[in-house]
């Protein structure tokens, strides 16, 4: 029985190798992230901004802006994705490059470190430092944010990042390997750069936004579920109450609404982009964020992250157990 079970384990080696790649990537993205200045996706973000500056013109018709956005996304994503995927196929040790792709795609997961620093700065009444730390992570204006605004922005970023980080990486790696993870992450980076809430990108970002709404529908719902189960029935009910923005469903607002419900605070509200005020829904589930709200949000995100890491570990263990029962 033992040799037969060993043979079954060897046959399933790709499953266990993939699990190990995922686990190490998730672990290192938290304890040893790349400095933001040298992250490849930050450079990709810079290219996306430069592309938008050249081809996104508000004086053009809405349809022209939509077409320009679609063509820009294709031009930015397809060549880089194709080259990296081709190199993955040629690599002598593809597992190493798969790990590298996952590690790079997960680097926004270290925002919890930034959130802790923002929380520390706010506790010391140092709003200038808190704004400075948040600015590289957000496309909205941060220079006029109050203590409450800084807390809201930090919490919202903290609870939405794992959707395209941990959850999307786990699901898409299972479904299509590192190339699918990379493609989804690049599309999400474009959405973060060309934020659809920003009036400047209202039409230009629409193709990417619509595509991402479909691509990240399942990761968003599963992450929202892992948040909602920590808040009980009231928060679970929020899973079935979409939050609209100008008549459209915006998936990040739904995640923020559930987080606000679990934390019993208010999130959302007006934002500014290049000095232009944009009204978004106020997600009122309690008082405004207070001194300890960021700390509570960090705990909430950590528990949900632990659920997903546990999922990565438990599934292959269950599979090995079933294999053992099969041969016993």
The predicted model gives 243-266 an average pLDDT of 80
- Residue 315 is predicted with a pLDDT of 81
Tell me the C-alpha distance between 45 and 87, whole Å. Answer: 22
**pTM of the shown model:** 0.90
Residue 247 sits at φ, ψ, to 5 deg, of: 85, -5
Per-residue CA distances from 177 to 17, 163, 171 (Å): 12, 17, 9
- Residue 304 is predicted with a pLDDT of 92
Q: Is beta strand 271-273 parallel, antiparallel or unpaired with respect to 276-278?
A: antiparallel
Tell whether the model's pLDDT for residue 90 goes beyond 90.
Answer: no
Tell whether the model's pLDDT for residue 89 goes beyond 70.
Answer: yes
Count of structural domains within the chain? 1
The predicted model gives 159-182 an average pLDDT of 93
Name the least confident of 19-23, 162-166, 242-246, 287-291.
242-246
Domain that holds residue 194: 2-327
Q: Is beta strand 266-268 parallel, antiparallel or unpaired with respect to 244-245?
A: unpaired
Tell whether the model's pLDDT for residue 27 goes beyond 60.
Answer: yes
Residue 282: pLDDT band (50, 70, 90) is confident
Per-residue CA distances from 237 to 169, 214, 216 (Å): 26, 22, 20
- Residue 94 is predicted with a pLDDT of 85
Per-residue CA distances from 62 to 53, 85, 107 (Å): 16, 34, 34
* Tokens encoding 325: 């029962």
Tell me the C-alpha distance between 198 and 296, whole Å. Answer: 29
Percentage of the residues of the chain whose pLDDT score is greater than 90: 54
Tell me the C-alpha distance between 169 and 197, whole Å. Answer: 25
Residue 249: pLDDT band (50, 70, 90) is low
Residue 47: pLDDT band (50, 70, 90) is very high
């Amino acid at each position: 029985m033992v040799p037969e079970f060993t043979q079954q384990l060897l046959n399933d080696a790709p499953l266990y190798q993939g699990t190990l790649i995922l686990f190490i990537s998730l672990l290192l993205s938290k304890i040893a992230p790349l400095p933001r200045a040298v992250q490849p996706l930050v450079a990709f973000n810079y290219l996306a901004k430069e592309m938008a500056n050249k081809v996104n013109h508000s004086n053009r018709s809405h349809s022209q802006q939509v077409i320009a956005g679609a063509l820009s996304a294709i031009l930015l994503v397809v060549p880089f994705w194709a080259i990296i995927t081709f190199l993955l196929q040629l690599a002598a040790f593809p597992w190493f490059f798969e790990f590298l792709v996952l590690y790079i795609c997960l680097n926004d997961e270290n925002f919890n470190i930034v959130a802790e620093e923002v929380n520390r700065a706010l506790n010391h009444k140092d709003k200038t430092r808190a704004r400075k730390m948040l600015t590289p992570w957000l496309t909205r204006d941060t220079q006029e944010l109050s203590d409450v605004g800084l807390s809201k922005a930090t919490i919202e970023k903290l609870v939405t990042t794992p959707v395209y980080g941990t959850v999307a990486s786990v699901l898409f790696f299972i479904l299509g390997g590192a190339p699918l993870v990379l493609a989804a992450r690049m599309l999400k980076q474009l959405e973060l750069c060309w934020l659809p809430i920003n009036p400047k990108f209202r039409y230009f970002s629409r193709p990417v936004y619509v595509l991402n709404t479909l691509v990240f529908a399942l990761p968003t719902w599963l992450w929202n579920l892992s948040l909602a189960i920590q808040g009980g029935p009231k928060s679970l009910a929020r899973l079935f109450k979409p939050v609209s923005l100008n008549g459209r469903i915006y998936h990040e607002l739904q995640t923020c609404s559930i987080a606000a419900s679990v934390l019993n605070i208010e999130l959302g509200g007006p934002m500014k982009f290049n000095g232009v005020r944009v009204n978004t829904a106020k997600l009122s589930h309690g008082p405004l964020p207070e001194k300890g709200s960021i700390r509570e949000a960090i705990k909430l995100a950590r528990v949900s992250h632990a659920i997903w890491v546990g999922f990565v570990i438990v599934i292959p263990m269950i599979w090995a157990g079933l294999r053992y029962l099969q041969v016993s």
